[in-house]
Chain A
Amino acid sequence: MGRGGSRATGAAAPPWHALPDEVWEHAFSFLPTAADRGAAAGACSSWLRAERRSRHHLAVANCYAAAPRDAIERFPAVRAAEVKGKPHFADFGLVPPAWGGAAAPWIAAAADGWPLLEELSFKRMVVTDECLEMIAASFRNFQVLRLVSCDGFSTAGLAAIAAGCRQLRELDLQENEIEDCSIHWLSLFPESFTSLVTLNFSCLDGEVNITVLERLVTRCRNLKTLKLNNAIPLDKLASLLQKAPQLVELGTGKFSADYHPDLFAKLEVAFGGCKSLRKLSGAWDAVPDYLPAFYCVCDGLTSLNLSYATVRGPELIKFISRCKNLQQLWVMDLIEDLGLAVVASSCSKLQELRVFPSDHFGLGVLTERGLVDVSASCPMLESVLYFCRRMTNEALITIAKNRPNFTCFRLCILEPHTPDYITQHPLDAGFSAIVESCKGLRRLSISGLLTDLVFRSIGAHADRLEMLSIAFAGNSDLGLNYILSGCKSLKKLEIRDCPFGDKPLLANAAKLETMRSLWMSSCLLTLGACRQLARKMPHLSVEIMNDPGWSCPLDSLPDESPVEKLYVYRTIAGPRSDTPSYVQIV
């Protein structure tokens, strides 16, 4: 492809640059990532034209980076779109309500310009019932709806989807705030509807009509993923499993009941029939005595999410140790270091480990030992999220040496400013070892006592780093300067409670345009710097937030006024018009 006419025989082949668009479109369909397609589109205008007109999947990582209409115009053939809204720190309550991120403008534009749209995915956005109704009414081919950490809708909206989307294959609701209007939305899937492959309503608070669910599960023979909510009792779970033994992924929901040998036997038989089960989640409130019912599926499990399960002790550890083929494990820190040592020796194929804190107000249960063990014995481990109460430089250095293949390393020592508990030194050396050793590191979260030195290492060595999260770290502006003047691949930077001020921000203004976004809260920024930044960089949107509001017009405030929260992102859409009163675009 593209080698020119050197092999032309007989009748002259068209020169490669005159090949019709369809040829390029076909070629581009083999490009694996959006980044590749973007690079191809930048080669010349005919490739640009061919690529954009054949792009079927569009990921908009920041809903304010471009206007919906622009996206539709540029990519008219999109069939699957994914849009993200609020800044990541909104997950932790740092962004007040009504900040923005409404899905409605995207859905309205899509209804107009992408009538053949099949898939929509929204993350951290406000999705209303009207949005869901519009989706159901506008896209006759609609197949996949995925909502992650969204809010603004209720079961009434779900009812519209159930009733209106005749081709629906996936309804995937992850960690959303959904208002329960007591509408039996499940019963609105028509009797003739059988296309469901994925149904995840685990985050839904509220009753579900079990009979309706059973009928739905029975008639959807292609159902592969079923994730239940709290409202399904254990014995009903067993019946559902018997109706859908082909399941690949199961979320058990509550999984709690007083131990009863009959119910245990029923569950055991039900799980025994699920020969294809690979992913298991839920088990909230699981009673340890019931865990053995899972034993027959352990061998086949590649993914286990017990991150909301409060079960602990030997039964938990025994259960996990039987899952020899586990690639992904999410668990609570109730597993303790001892449990992780067992994971280390049993789950040699582990690729991703996430350990969540069980007590948000305490110091944490885990120590460095659990992580050291797992990183030593799991050669394929590349992604870690770990909440613990203490750490040492030595442990981090050991981990870095063991696992140079980390792509994602997120360590949260629960108490801010915690030093190496043995030497009392900052953890600079440890995290430096991580970034020096793990050349493919794409995501990093650091914690504990840290000085500017760690930022020097990160800036110098973390060439592939795309996302960096910093809290309660650093001594001075130097820290931020190291990051912004280094970290060649940085896309997202989020900082809270660090002594970083105006100078490094202004000195590295151009860098910000190469990044998707920057969040800084509780740092040492002033309004003057934000004004300068906005003046200097017209393609950046500089948003500042003051909760609960501004006591006087922004223009009248002096340059020295402190800025509590700053969110900067590049955009071709200009300043957004849907800001709440506490947000000002400088």
Chain B
Amino acid sequence: MAGADVGTELRLGLPGGGAEAGAKAGKRGFEDTIDLKLKLPTAGMEEAASKPEPPAAEKPPAPKVQAVGWPPVRSYRRNIMTVQPVKSKKEEEAEKHQQPAANAGGSSSGFVKVSMDGAPYLRKVDLKLYSSYKDLSVALRKMFGPFTATGNSMNEGSVADPVNGSDAVTTYEDKDGDWMLVGDVPWQMFVESCKRLRIMKGSEAIGLAPRAKDKNKNKS
């Protein structure tokens, strides 16, 4: 059978990771599967304790690659639960009182809505996942790529046109409710003040650029 073409390498290891799994492509026998499995961290779990251990105790939680769409939880639920992280303390609950709409992109999470003129869907991005405008730009391009007329052409450099050259401009609504051009302020300041993103046609964005700088001058 067609099997191991480049790009269809089957990895029966951890989703998205495992160099050793990547090396073995195509069909595998039953024994191989077990063999492979024993190398993976989950295989060694012995449960003597009568109460479930918290996940953190079992393996280092950091850089874990999740397969897209796994676990099979509705995107709606995933978004809501990321904004409302599991909290057991009352004082943490009081903090959320400040913003009645949990998804407003407030201090407890980085999720903001992203709309693009002409696209029928809104998307959501978690700004806290990115460390720079460039990262965000790449992510937005991936998200909205299919909507552009000419496909994937990427305009290097300028973050103001993440999707399709000079036609598109990314703007954001800040805490004061004003619409600003993305890219003027330091990244961290942007993450803290951004409430939502909008990718608009360049012609409509004229006149936005100066305001960001003026605003910052007025802030102490």
Contacts and interface: CB of A to CB of B under 8 A. Distances in A.
A117 B68 CA distance: 40
Nearest to B147: A98
A501 interface: yes
B34 interface: yes
A128 B121 CA distance: 10
Contacts of A549: 145-146, 151-152
A362 B90 CA distance: 23
B12 A548 contact: no
Contacts of A98: 119-121, 146-147
Contacts of B93: 256, 285, 287
Interface stretch (B23-31, B131-139, B179-187): B23-31
A416 B113 CA distance: 30
B219 interface: no
A581 B81 contact: no
B210 interface: no
A334 B61 CA distance: 19
A363 interface: yes
A256 B52 contact: no
B96 A499 contact: no
A366 B178 CA distance: 45
Contacts of A365: 52, 54-55
Interface stretch (B101-109, B168-176, B201-209): B101-109
A310 B87 CA distance: 7
Contacts of A233: 100
Contacts of A91: 72, 74-75
Interface string A265-289: 0000000000000000000110100
Interface in A237-282: 254, 256-259
Nearest to B40: A417
A261 B54 CA distance: 34
Contacts of B152: 548-549
Contacts of A526: 2, 5
A307 B5 CA distance: 42
Contacts of B27: 475-476, 499
Interface in A198-245: 203, 205-207, 230-231, 233
Contacts of A96: 146
Interface in B79-116: 80-82, 84-88, 90, 93-94, 96-97, 100-104, 113, 115
A429 to B, nearest CB: 14
A496 interface: yes
Interface string B138-160: 00001101110001100000000
Interface string B34-55: 1001101011011100011011
A93 interface: yes
A497 interface: yes
Nearest to A469: B72
A179 B122 contact: yes
A233 B90 CA distance: 17
| Majority-rule SS of B interface residues | loop
B142 A548 contact: yes
Interface stretch (A351-359, A398-406, A535-543): A351-359
B37 to A, nearest CB: 6
B101 A366 contact: no
A451 B87 contact: no
Contacts of B96: 256, 285
Interface stretch (A10-18, A320-328, A418-426): A418-426
A284 B102 contact: yes
Contacts of A334: 86
B76 A175 contact: yes
Contacts, number: 220
Contact of B67 (A416, A499, A562): A416
A233 B97 CA distance: 10
A417 B146 contact: no
Given A424-B43, A451-B33, A524 B72 contact: no
Contacts of B15: 416, 472, 497
Given A312-B88, A424-B37, A562 B8 contact: yes
A92 B68 CA distance: 8
Nearest to A313: B88
B30 A390 contact: no
A151 B146 contact: no
Given A152-B120, A387-B71, A502-B1, A418 B42 contact: yes
A97 B146 contact: yes
A500 B53 CA distance: 36
A455 to B, nearest CB: 13
B73 interface: yes
Contacts of B120: 97-98, 126, 128, 151-152
B72 A412 contact: yes
A177 B122 contact: yes
A308 interface: yes
A206 B105 CA distance: 12
B217 interface: no
A30 interface: no
A576 interface: no
Contact of B7 (A179, A205, A562): A562
A475 B30 contact: yes
Interface in A422-451: 424, 426, 445, 449, 451
B169 to A, nearest CB: 20
A445 B70 CA distance: 14
A338 B55 CA distance: 17
A193 interface: no
Contacts of A203: 76
Contacts of B42: 363, 415, 417-418
Contacts of A191: none
A496 B69 contact: yes
Contacts of A313: 88
6 contacts: A151-B122, A231-B100, A287-B93, A419-B34, A449-B37, A526-B5
Given A91-B72, A390-B47, A424-B37, 15 more contacts: A91-B74, A92-B75, A93-B68, A97-B121, A151-B120, A230-B102, A307-B77, A312-B86, A334-B86, A337-B51, A360-B81, A416-B15, A424-B34, A449-B37, A560-B5
Closest 10 CB pairs of A and B: A362-B55, A92-B69, A562-B8, A548-B145, A175-B76, A97-B121, A94-B69, A91-B74, A93-B69, A526-B2
